[in-house]
Amino acid sequence: MRIFSEEKKLIIADGKSQVWIEPWGANSLRVRMSAAPDMDGNDWALTEKMEDITPQITFETVDVTDPWYKSDEYKKYHQSATQAQIKNGKITAKVSHEGWISYYNQRGELLTAEYWRTRDRINRYCVPLRITARELKPIIGTTDYELTARFEAFDDEKIFGMGQYQEKNLNKKGAVLELAHRNSQASVPFYVSSRGYGFFWNNPAIGTVAFGTNKTQWNVKSTKKLDYFITAGDTPAEIESQYSLATGRTPMMPEYGLGYWQCKLRYRTQEELLAVAREHKKRGLPMDAIVIDFFHWTMQGDFKFEPLDWPDPEKMVHELKELGIETVVSVWPTIDERSENFGKMNDLGYLVNADRGNQNHMTWMGNTVFYDATHPGAQKFVWERCRENYYRYGIRCFWLDEAEPEYGPYDFDNYRYYAGPALQCSNIYPVGYAKGFYEGLKAEGETEIMSLVRCAWAGSQKYGVLTWSGDIYSSFRSMREQLQAGLNMGMAGIPWWTSDIGGFLGGDISDEAFRELLVRWFEWGAFCPVFRMHGERSPWYEREQEFRNGVRQLTSGQDNEVWSFGEDNYEILKKYLFIRENLRPYIRECMRAASDTGAPVMRPLFFDFCEDKKCWDIEDEYMFGPGLLVAPVMEAGADTRTLYLPSGTKWTDSYTKKEYEGGNTVTVPAPLDIIPVMMNERFTEKFGTELIYLDEKSDKK
C-alpha cells in the first residue's frame, strides 16, 4: 500500500485500488474509491463548479517499535509505515499507516471515522474479524461491484435528513433505510449529524443504509465506485449551506407558490374547474394556483387535453390568469402502447427497457412503459410535446407525477436506463424528469420555474422542484409521519415541500372525524413551504364506466373545496387562507434565504437553536423560517398543546399574545380553530404580533 499526494489529492493506492481524498468546497472533502485502474467519471449530484482550494497535505512516518515493521516480510510488500492528513478549513482527514480514514474538526475533535476490525500493530488494536471499512466486491463476470462502506457508531450521535420515509422518527439514528424511491418514499442520502458534520452518499444505486448502534453501514448491490462528500461546520446552517453549494441551490420561489393551491382528484372538465375558481373568487377568498389532475388527456403518453372535456384550454388559462390564478397541469411519464408517441419513442430508445419478461411497467388504465428520464433526448422529446400541447396555452407550471417511477413491481434488477442498469442509477430518475422541464421552460425565457414532483434525489432542488409526500393515508398517524418527512426533506437539501392536506387515500367528507383531521391538517398546511389542498376523498362518485376511442375514462372523488366540510369548518379554513396571505412577506423572505443559503424553510428546532441541547430531541415542533415556532395539533379531540420553547429568546403566543421566556415547557390553548404558533423577538420586531391571529375587533375575513 502507498499513501501519496497528486494534484491536490491525497491518494491511498493498493494494487489496482485507489482512494482519492480532495477538497470539494469550503470545509469539505470528496472521497472516491475505485477497484478498477481508472476512476469512474460520473459526478452524479456533485456537478456544481466548486472553489479551487489547495489543501494542506502532510505526511509522517510512524515510530516503528513493533518488530513486524522491521521484518523482511513487511518490507517486501510495504514501503514504510507512513500516515498522512489532508486539511481543508474546518475539516481534516487523517489516514493511518494501514489506510484507515478518520475525520476531525478545526478543534481536533473527532467527527466520524471508518470502521475497521482487523490488524493494527502500531496502536496495539488487533481484532481478527478481518472486517474493513470499504469493500468493492467484484460481481463475477462483469465490470461491476457490490459496495459496502462502514463507519463507527457513536452513542451521542443524532442523524437528520436522508429524505422522506413513512415512519414516526425524525432522528434516523437506529433506522435501516432503503436507498430507493417508492410512492411516498424519496431517498435523498444527505444527513446532518449532531456531532458537527454533514455526509452525502453520492451514489444513485439501489441499496440500504443502517445507522446502527454498533456501526453505520452503507451497501449497494451494483456500482462502479465509492463516492461521498463530507463537510464540517459550527452550526447546522453552515453545514447545509456548504452542502447546497456542492449540489446546487434552489431558485427563488415564484410569487404564486407563496399562496394557496386548490387541488382535488379530480376536476373532470374545463367548466367544472372554472366553476370552482369563480366561486372561490366570488367569496373573496385568495387562491394562487389550481391544479388539473391526471387523466385529462386523450391517452397516457399523448401529453394533450381531451378536447371533449377541455374544449378551449387557451381561453380557460386566460380566464384563470385574469382571476390571478396559475394553472398547473399533471404530466405522467407513462407511455401507453397505443399512444401516438409510443412508436417513435421506442424507435429512438426513449423508453425504459426490461432485461427480461414483459416490457409493460404499469397496467393501470392501460398497458404503459415509463419514458427514460435519464436520456437527454427523451427529456427534450417529452418537453416538446408538453410545450406544443400545454405551454403554448399559457401553462408554465407542471405536476410531474409518478416520478419515482412507480414500477409494478419494484424489480429494480430488471430495468435498464440510458444511464445504465437501474440497480446502479435508478435514484436519479426524478432529477432527469424535473431537469427536462426546467431546461425547456428556461429556453422559452421563463425565469420563475417550479414543478410539483412526487419524488426527488440530491440536486433536484436546483431544477425548481416542489416535492410532496405522495399518496398518504387520511389519519392523524399519517399526519404525524408527514411532519418528520417534511423536516427531513428540508435537512436533506430539498427546501420546497408539501403534503396532501387531509391525506390522499380515504377521507369521507361527511365523516365528522375526518373533518376534524382535515381542519387540523389545513391549519398546519398554512405553515408549510407550500399550502396545497388535495385528496381522492372516497368514496368516488358512482359513474357508469365510459370509454372514448378505446380509452377508459377515470371518475372523480368527492368535493374538496374549503366550503365542502360544513359551515363551521368553512369559517376556520377561511381564516387560515387569510393568515397565509398575511404571512406572504415573511414567507417570501424565507424563500429568498433558501435560494441564497440553502436554509430549509421548515426545519427542526436545533437548526436555529443548536446550542440548546433540548432542541435536538424535539420532534413534534418545528421552525417555520427563523421567527415562527409551529406546534401542529396531531391528536383527535385535543384542545391544548404542550410544547418546548428554545432558550436564548423571548416567545409570544400568537393567539393569546402571552409572553414566555425561552428554555421552558409550556401548555397553551389549542381549540379546533387554533394551531399554536409562537413568535420570537426576531419576528415580532419586524412584523409585530398581529400578523397571524388578529384581535377579534379587527379580524380579517
- Enzyme catalytic residues: 401, 404, 471
The C-alpha atoms of residue 526 and residue 453 are separated, in whole angstroms, by: 20
Strand partners for 362: 368
The C-alpha atoms of residue 647 and residue 642 are separated, in whole angstroms, by: 16
The C-alpha atoms of residue 339 and residue 140 are separated, in whole angstroms, by: 40
ω into 520 cis (within 30 of 0): no
| Dihedral (Cα; 680, 686, 688, 690), 10-degree rounding | -100
Give me the DSSP letters along 195-233: TTEEEEE---SSEEEEE-SSEEEEEEEEESEEEEEEEE-
ω into 128 cis (within 30 of 0): no
Q: Count CB atoms within 10 A of the CB of residue 274.
A: 18
Q: What contacts 564, CB < 8 A, 6 or more positions away? A: 509, 558
- The burial class, CB within 10 Å (0-12 / 13-18 / 19+), for 219 is middle
Q: Which helix (H) or strand (E) holds 427?
A: none
- The burial class, CB within 10 Å (0-12 / 13-18 / 19+), for 536 is buried
Strands (E), 212-336: 215-223, 225-232, 260-262, 289-292, 326-331, 334-336
Cell of 627: 421567527
The C-alpha atoms of residue 496 and residue 479 are separated, in whole angstroms, by: 18
Phi and psi based region of residue 53 (left: phi greater than 0; alpha: psi -120 to 50; beta: remaining):
beta
Count of helices and strands (H, E) across the chain = 14, 41
| Pairing of the two strands 289-292 and 326-331 | parallel
ω into 409 cis (within 30 of 0): yes
Query: 587 near 625, Cβ under 8 Å?
Result: yes
Q: Which helix (H) or strand (E) holds 564?
A: none
Strands (E), 383-493: 397-400, 415-417, 420-421, 451-453, 465-468
The C-alpha atoms of residue 198 and residue 208 are separated, in whole angstroms, by: 18
- The burial class, CB within 10 Å (0-12 / 13-18 / 19+), for 350 is buried
The C-alpha atoms of residue 127 and residue 589 are separated, in whole angstroms, by: 54
Cell of 255: 410569487
Q: Cα 693 to chain center, whole Å?
A: 31
Cell of 92: 481534516
ω into 539 cis (within 30 of 0): yes
